[in-house]
Amino acid sequence: MGYINEEGLIKHEEYQKYTLNINDELKVSKALKFGFSFNGYHARLPVNKDVGSAIRAAPIAPVYDPNGSGLLHTLPAFQRAQVFNPLVSVETEKFTAINKEYRAVGSIYGELSFLRNFTFRTQLFADYGFNTSRRYDPILVVYNPEIVGTNKNDTSRRQTAVYQSQDIYPKTQMDYLLTYKNKFGDHDLTVLGGITTYYNSFEGVNSSVQQGSADVIPNDPRFWFVDAVGTAATKTGSGSSYEEASLSYLVRGLYSLKKKYLVNASFRRDGSSQFFKIGNEWKNFGAIGVGWVVSQEDFFADQDILDYLKLKGSWGVLGSKNIPSQFRYPAYPTLTNANAGVFGNNVINALQPQYTVSDNLNWETVRSYEVGFELNTFNNALHFEATYYNRRTEDVITLIDLGAGQLPLLDNLGTIQNKGFEFSAAWNRNITKDLNFSVSGNLTTIKNKVIKLNKEGFEIFNGAARTTAGYPIGYFYGYEHNGIYQTQTEILKSPTSMIGTVNPGDIKYKDINGDGKITTDDRTFIGNPTPDFMYGGSVSFTYKGFDLGIDMQGVYGNEIYRAWNQGTFADFNYLEGRVERWNGIGSSNWEPILNTGRANNYQNSSYWIEDGSFFRIRNLQIGYTFSQTLLSKAKIKSLRIYINGQNIGTFANNTGYTPEIGGSATGFGIDNGTYPVPAIYTFGLSLNF
């Protein structure tokens, strides 16, 4: 059992969680056993606040009226067009939501062994989630010094409202597996076959109500129910649901000869309800892997450099029904409004499908192969692995825009390739009787490329990101920064800007196609959000009862697109680098003039690109384990105390709160004001009787 209470980095954020974990096994006999596991929790979720407005807000201005009239409506006049006082939301909407989350994950199984070599196991997995939410919108009254007259209170939200929602998302999986395991002299054979089913569904409803003409809904959780307050005429409600199921037949075989020649192979036939009515609900997949433990050969004994050597390789085809969530039933598109028709004196509203479906819509497939080796040396103190991998995701499912006048088409779009090397190494050695030292590390290189899309010239746009055949997925697309215009004469001698007026102090963009003009055709590749490689490592020491462990992680070679301060028409909280802005001939050749009216400087360009590489100390722990001699007198089996630091240091070059920027499949690495990653320090003890 457990209880967690955490505060967020923004005031009034609080997270509470109760957990319960149980597992047990009952052996009825040597041949029959049953077991179960249960993991459940109930959490009260915080009301998360956006950090974007706080980053943009000018830090030099007060957020409260100096005369004591309360929170200011906005910050200084120079940025009121776009930046609302971030503390208005933090302070006036604190504790105005009750978000609860319930989750129960468990399994129950039975296993029967018979005829010496056979085992039958059936197991049910269940995952049940249930969420409820009640939110209250209070009337917001803030002080606005620009209002004419003595009453300068600005009621920016004039009506109270209540919002309610709840949803459930059950998932179940049932496995029926028969295993045969036997050994024939130098031969070891294991064969597994079975059936597995999977079911996933969702049901959600939400509703809202506003106050009447005069009756304000109280700021009291007792009244935050849609049926308890408000005006019936303002009540709204909606709901959504889906369900999907799959059935799989599978078989797998593991074989070894003298424990040095290894083969494993698998085959499965998967069927999905989502492809039903399209005709492609069933598809076959499989994989095969081989290994050769060279160190088991007789000739290997003639050398004393390596203690262990294994060569390995594999090839496989995996399936995925990775249909976007808005197309849960691809054969049954949602109906949307279409052009109306006039019949006599009647106007008849029309409906049309949201999209059309390709007759050949099919599973996504991942075709991959790997080759590599493992070795031990220095009396097995050093273990090293190296692998080359090549994975091609084919038939990616997406919605294709066919142009004006045509419905979008849901189809298998194209092929994406990821390839590279994976390396890992570990060293473990007792230096003395009381001192042990170990170190491990891993490195994975990544080369991502979109091999092809649906048709020639087809591209996917997602803000500053673009997906095009021949480039990495979601690469950054825009103009290339080529200096700052210093004088009007330089502007006249430079390629003519067709994307807007330019003046001295503005960013000069590169004429990529060399036609003497700056047009949209000069946009190009300006950054890649996918790193060249990822790496990690750990170091640990133990000396008598003391232990020290450090975990590290990082990436290298990717870019971040800084979007949080790319707005126009208002002066944001500027980066320190803007101090070096252009303010006269020769003053800067990178930072443009401080002038929010210069739209040219806010184009998507390499000016907004930052280095995304970073190194982070993910975890550091120091502990002490008391000696058994001391503990035995108190009838204690073991006792350890420790201090732990998580995310205690990040070394990065980007300007945001964190270099780890998420996003979608075709638009990631774009920093819109990402919530900071907190450093967490913990003291604990582990006690066993």
The string of pLDDT tens digits covering residues 130-145 is 999 999 999 888 877 7
DSSP per-residue letters across 130-152? EEEEEEEEPPEEEE-TTSSSS--
Count, residues in the chain: 689
Spatial distance between the Cα atoms of 518 and 507, rounded to a whole number of angstroms: 12
Task: Say if 471 falls within a structural domain.
Answer: no
pTM of the model: 0.89
* Tokens coding 397: 């499912």
Q: What is the CB-side half-sphere exposure of residue 478 using CA atoms within 13 A?
A: 27
pLDDT at 362: 87
Spatial distance between the Cα atoms of 264 and 253, rounded to a whole number of angstroms: 6
Which residues sit opposite 41 in a β-bridge? 19, 103
pLDDT at 548: 97
Indicate if the alpha-carbon torsion angle 475, 480, 484, 487 is positive or negative: negative
DSSP 595: -
Task: Say if 80 falls within a structural domain.
Answer: yes
pLDDT at 326: 75
Task: Say if 638 falls within a structural domain.
Answer: no
| Nearest one of 678, 622, 674 to 648, comparing CA atoms | 678
Domain that holds residue 86: 48-94
Which residues sit opposite 288 in a β-bridge? 265, 315
Indicate if the alpha-carbon torsion angle 7, 13, 18, 19 is positive or negative: negative
Task: Say if 84 falls within a structural domain.
Answer: yes
pLDDT at 674: 87
The answer to whether residues 497 and 598 touch, using CB atoms and an 8 Å cutoff, is no
Task: Say if 136 falls within a structural domain.
Answer: no
Q: Residue 478: how many CB atoms within 10 A of its CB? A: 22
The answer to whether residues 73 and 154 touch, using CB atoms and an 8 Å cutoff, is yes
> What residue ranges of the chain have pLDDT lower than 70?
73-77, 79-81, 156, 213-214, 568-569
* Tokens coding 6: 């955490």
Which 3 state secondary structure label does DSSP give 685?
strand
Task: Say if 685 falls within a structural domain.
Answer: no
Spatial distance between the Cα atoms of 551 and 555, rounded to a whole number of angstroms: 14
Q: Pairing between strand 435-445 and 447-452?
A: unpaired
Tell me the backbone φ, ψ of residue 653, rounded to 5 degrees.
Answer: -110, -5
Cite the beta strand spans of 502-613 per DSSP E: 507-509, 517-518, 524-527, 533-543, 546-556, 559-562, 609-611
Indicate if the alpha-carbon torsion angle 265, 392, 360, 334 is positive or negative: positive
pLDDT at 146: 72
pLDDT at 489: 96
Task: Say if 506 falls within a structural domain.
Answer: no
Task: Say if 171 falls within a structural domain.
Answer: no
Nearest-5° angle of CA 202, CA 207, CA 208? 155
DSSP 300: G
Domains contained in the chain, number: 1
pLDDT at 568: 64
The answer to whether residues 462 and 664 touch, using CB atoms and an 8 Å cutoff, is yes
pLDDT at 516: 95
